[in-house]
Amino acid sequence: MNKERREFIRKTGLGVLAGICASSAFMPAFSLEETVLPAWDEKPVPGKIRWGMLIDTRKCLNECSECVAKCHFVHNVPDFGNRKDEVKWIWKSSYEHVFPTSTQQFRTSDVLQRSFLALCNHCAEAPCTRACPTEATFRRWDGIVSMDYHRCIGCRFCMAACPYGSRSFNWRDPREGIKLASVDYPTREQGVVEKCNFCSDRLVRGLIPACAESCPQKALTFGDLNDPKSDIRVLLESNNTMQRKPELGTKPSVFYII
């Protein structure tokens, strides 16, 4: 009796083992433990995404400034009508102003007559974030160089550090210079620096940046530089592109097709 019982247990065990072996042979994925991703990522993973923009200057029309108007309306950027108090997030400029250190001589007259869009480059090695003594400006988890206006003390070190002139100081109360206010975004106050935020306010709502959305020529492509299949990476793959002042090693996230 005892012996038979032992035999039975031994054989049953063998059977169980055989069952596991068979199932793992038929379903190869089963031999690996499965990890279930959390349904909700409360905190984003730093460095997973790097937002970038590609500007096709061949499509950009000289007389159009739709993107500038849309951006400045959406973000309540003031306009005082003089250069001294000027605040700008995105603007148009000539070739020699946008690429002043470009060593290439004798560019075609077509290129020299074009207007080029300039905005914050959201550099991977942003000099402004190093200059800021209060960490009011910082590089976010998704590559956007962001500003926390609450912390800005108005020292303007970041303006001196930025090689692209992308930062503006509020010499006056900006609310005086806003003709048509947008209720979706706060204004700034007198005594703080401001700049393009790559529409981080629109990104959380699942929208692309206002400039890229408003462009009638679709000259602006916005996307994730870390994703090899994104539109922007596909375009970067198939075109010759340029960055502003690449020799400074700031690694801008804004690219230009000339």
Residue pair 199/182 in contact (Cβ under 8 Å)? The answer is no
CB of 33 to other proteins, least distance (A): 10
- Compare residues 161 and 203 and give the one whose CB is closer to other proteins: 203
Tell me which residues in 180-239 interact with other proteins (CB under 8 A).
183, 186-189, 204-206
Q: Are strands 51-56 and 254-257 parallel, antiparallel or unpaired?
A: parallel
- The sign of the CA dihedral 152, 141, 88, 119 is positive
- Candidates 73, 80, 95, 141: give the one binding other proteins (CB under 8 A): 141
CB of 125 to other proteins, least distance (A): 20
CB of 23 to other proteins, least distance (A): 4
Q: Which of 142, 154, 138 is nearest to 188 (CA)?
A: 154
CB of 83 to other proteins, least distance (A): 24
- Candidates 47, 59, 96, 148: give the one binding other proteins (CB under 8 A): 148
Tell me which residues in 40-69 interact with other proteins (CB under 8 A).
40-44
CA pair distance 245, 251, nearest whole angstrom: 9
- Compare residues 182 and 243 and give the one whose CB is closer to other proteins: 182
- Compare residues 13 and 246 and give the one whose CB is closer to other proteins: 13
171 lies in the binding site for other proteins (CB under 8 A): no
Write out the residues near other proteins by the rule CB under 8 A. 8, 11-12, 14-16, 18-20, 22-23, 27, 30, 34, 36-44, 138, 140-142, 146, 148-150, 183, 186-189, 204-206
